[in-house]
Amino acid sequence: MSAAFDVERIRKDFPVLSRELPGGRSLVYLDSGNSSQKPAQVVETMREHLAMHYSNVGRAMHVLGAESTQAYEDARDKVAAFVGAPSRDEVVFTKNASEALNLVAYSFGQRFWRASGTTQPNEDPRFTMGPGDEIVISEMEHHSNIVPWQMLAQRTGATLKWFGVTDEGRLDLSGDVITERTKIVSIAHQSNVLGTVNPVAPVLKRAREVGALVMLDASQSVPHHPVDVAALGVDFVAFTGHKMLGPSGIGVLWARGELLEAMPPFLGGGEMIEAVWMDHSTYAPYPHKFEAGTPPIVEAIGLGAAVDYLQAAGMEAIEAHERALTAHALDALAEVPSLRLIGPSTLEERGGTVAFTLEGIHPHDVGQILDDEFGIAVRVGHHCARPLHLRFGIPATTRASFYLYNTTGEIDALVRGLHHVQKVFA
Amino acid sequence: MIGESMYQELILEHYKHPQGRGLREPYDAEVHHVNPTCGDEITLRVKLGDDGKIEDVSYDGQGCSISQAAASVLHELTTGSTVTETLSVVDEFTRLMQGRGQVEADEDVLGDAVAFAGVAKFPARVKCALLSWMAYKDAVVRSAS
């Protein structure tokens, strides 16, 4: 794999990686878990579309409308193939992963919505939700996979429960968190702080035993590993474009078609309808049922280009490259005095996200000095996972996250920077 | 480099050896302020004395070196001064912090707090420096009412 994966050639595709920061520093970008950089191929595809082919999609009866619609729907095909979706219609474009998670949470407990052509209130037992029903998440979730479920619990009177996290940053599957009352389980595929890759199979098995649906927040896994939604066997998967070399403003919900059929529309508006009367409407088939209004057209096309880029580089090669980077980082960081790793210390079931604290030094000071003096971009704070930080009794961490364009040299620069930070605060 | 101008020796000294840290009795008002974006927080108490003077400012909190050192400097500058004097220091400090690095600091008014001038060039860190000072202003208003 390493012979086929030429990181220096990859880096040439990302113009920002060779820019100079104020003060003549070069950039060391270790914040891809926050948002990834974009290759020239994505930027150029979006520029070309905006310049030469742009129009609204799905409704314009002219050449540009046809070209835009074709490009937008081609992007859906690419994304569907990329994640192994059994049908391209099961890919719903949203504005980000948060919207995809909110869309699914919104589907529960809507007793009075009526599917197209029916006159009866929808009482699909999979999507009913009320007092006594349970929603299961975990303590390691990003806020986007916590708050929508809190809102669902508040709206319906259901109970929110969660898996704990072990000291080494693994999902704690002991105990009976999933019960006969559980309707939906939603967990991260890979933690955005710990790097932990969660075991889907045992969670899915237990959920199936009790008839619960399962959702994965795959925002941190789809960009970094080969992911096949059909092979995973779950019901819903959410991810976002900007973490996988695409632009911001475009996210994806994949869901099994029969579930999308049964779910109520999320937002109402143009393009999501079949026919509208003054007092009622019927809805378009999925995925358009969930894509009200003019969608992020150029962003979807940019995501399609990002998928092309990732596939050309090879997801298995990217995964192997990041695994080597993570091994290097875990070894190098272990040599930094008083550094406390928050997350698994071995490569087993973990991705290229490494969070840590330095004794007596606040992460904001760590991040500031790394940036100002070495041009090293990391993320500091609670990374939108405050409950996880509370679990470990710390207000914040410093997080380095790797991607296909990072090098072991950049990780060495990080380690040198951390030694300097410790000197400043000694 | 840029960072050096922000992490002045005086700031690091206050961070490593905070002055007046710890919550003390008695007090006239207590406030708790947080910075939701970074999780920095401070609990601050004000005790008014005779002649409109500040008898004590005590505090406890957690956060970065900038926020913690700012609280330490605040304690030094306010304790023993009149309420009116301290509020003019707060105003001058706020003006300096919100000046995007374009404001000339008045050293006669600010004393040690001029060391924070470099922070004003970092918009993301200005709120760290101001956290305890805004808490102080809030506490003074409450203790007077």
Cα–Cα distance for residue pair A89/A273, rounded to 1 Å = 16
Tell me the residue type at B139.
A
Q: Do B7 and A23 touch (CB under 8 A)?
A: no
Q: For position A3, what pLDDT does the model report?
A: 52
CATH class of the structural domain A7-30+314-424: alpha beta
Closest-CA distance, B102 to chain A, in angstroms, reads: 18
Q: For position A118, what pLDDT does the model report?
A: 64
- The C-alpha angle A172, A320, A301, rounded to 5 degrees, equals 95
Cα–Cα distance for residue pair A160/A141, rounded to 1 Å = 13
Look at residue B2 and tell me whether its pLDDT is greater than 60. Answer: no
In terms of CA atoms, which chain A residue is nearest residue B66? A365
Cα–Cα distance for residue pair B19/B16, rounded to 1 Å = 10
Look at residue B145 and tell me whether its pLDDT is greater than 90. Answer: no
CA B13 to chain centroid, in Å, comes to: 15
The residues, any chain, with a CB within 8 Å of residue B17's CB and separated by 6 or more, are B72
Between helices A363-374 and A408-424, what is the axis angle to 10°? Answer: 120
pLDDT digits (tens, 9 = 90+) for B33-71: 998 777 789 999 999 998 889 999 999 999 999 999 999
Alpha carbons within 13 angstroms on the beta-carbon side of residue A312 total 13
A36 C-beta neighbours (distance < 10 Å), count: 23
The residues, any chain, with a CB within 8 Å of residue A38's CB and separated by 6 or more, are A14, A16, A245, A246, A247, A302, A306
Q: CB-based contact (8 Å) between B9 and chain A? A: no
How confident is residue B1, by pLDDT bands cut at 50, 70 and 90?
very low
Q: Which residues of B touch A380 (CB under 8 A)?
A: 38
Look at residue B78 and tell me whether its pLDDT is greater than 80. Answer: yes
Q: Do B39 and A396 touch (CB under 8 A)?
A: yes
Q: For position A368, what pLDDT does the model report?
A: 93
* ipTM at complex level: 0.85
Q: CB-based contact (8 Å) between B14 and chain A? A: no
* Residue ranges of chain A that CATH labels 3.90.1150.10: 7-30+314-424
Closest-CA distance, A370 to chain B, in angstroms, reads: 9
Instruction: Indicate the domain borders of chain B.
Output: 2-144
Beta-strand ranges (E) seen in A99-255 are 134-138, 159-165, 171-172, 182-188, 213-217, 236-240, 251-255
Q: Do A369 and B37 touch (CB under 8 A)?
A: no
Question: Do strands A134-138 and A159-165 pair parallel, antiparallel, or not at all (unpaired)?
Answer: parallel
Q: Do A368 and B37 touch (CB under 8 A)?
A: no
Q: CB-based contact (8 Å) between B10 and chain A? A: no
Closest-CA distance, B10 to chain A, in angstroms, reads: 12
Q: Return the closest-CA partner of residue A364 out of A380, A383, A342.
A: A380
Cα–Cα distance for residue pair A11/A267, rounded to 1 Å = 40
Q: Which residues of B touch A395 (CB under 8 A)?
A: 39-40, 62-63
Cα–Cα distance for residue pair B22/A159, rounded to 1 Å = 40
Mean pLDDT per segment of 10 residues, for chain A of length 426 residues? 78 97 94 98 98 91 94 98 98 98 96 68 88 98 98 98 98 96 98 98 98 98 98 98 98 97 94 92 95 97 98 98 98 97 97 97 94 95 94 95 98 98 93
The domain defined by A45-311 carries CATH number 3.40.640.10: yes
In terms of CA atoms, which chain A residue is nearest residue B12? A425
In terms of CA atoms, which chain B residue is nearest residue A364? B64
**Report field, pTM of the whole predicted structure over 0.80:** yes
Q: Which of A358, A359, A364, A399 to mutate to test the interface with B (most CBs of B within 10 A)?
A: A364
Q: Do B64 and A425 touch (CB under 8 A)?
A: no
pLDDT, mean of residues B103-111: 87
Each residue of B64-74: b (16+ CB within 10 Å) or e?
A: bbbbbbbbbbb
What 3-state DSSP class applies to A273?
strand
Cα–Cα distance for residue pair A13/A309, rounded to 1 Å = 10
Fold of B2-144: Sufe protein. Chain: A (3.90.1010)
Each residue of B27-39: b (16+ CB within 10 Å) or e?
A: bbbbbebebeebb
Q: CB-based contact (8 Å) between B19 and chain A? A: no
Contact A213, A183 (CB under 8 A): yes
Q: For position A116, what pLDDT does the model report?
A: 61
Q: In this structure, is the dihedral angle defined by the CA atoms of residues A229, A232, A238 and A244, taken in order, positive or negative?
A: negative
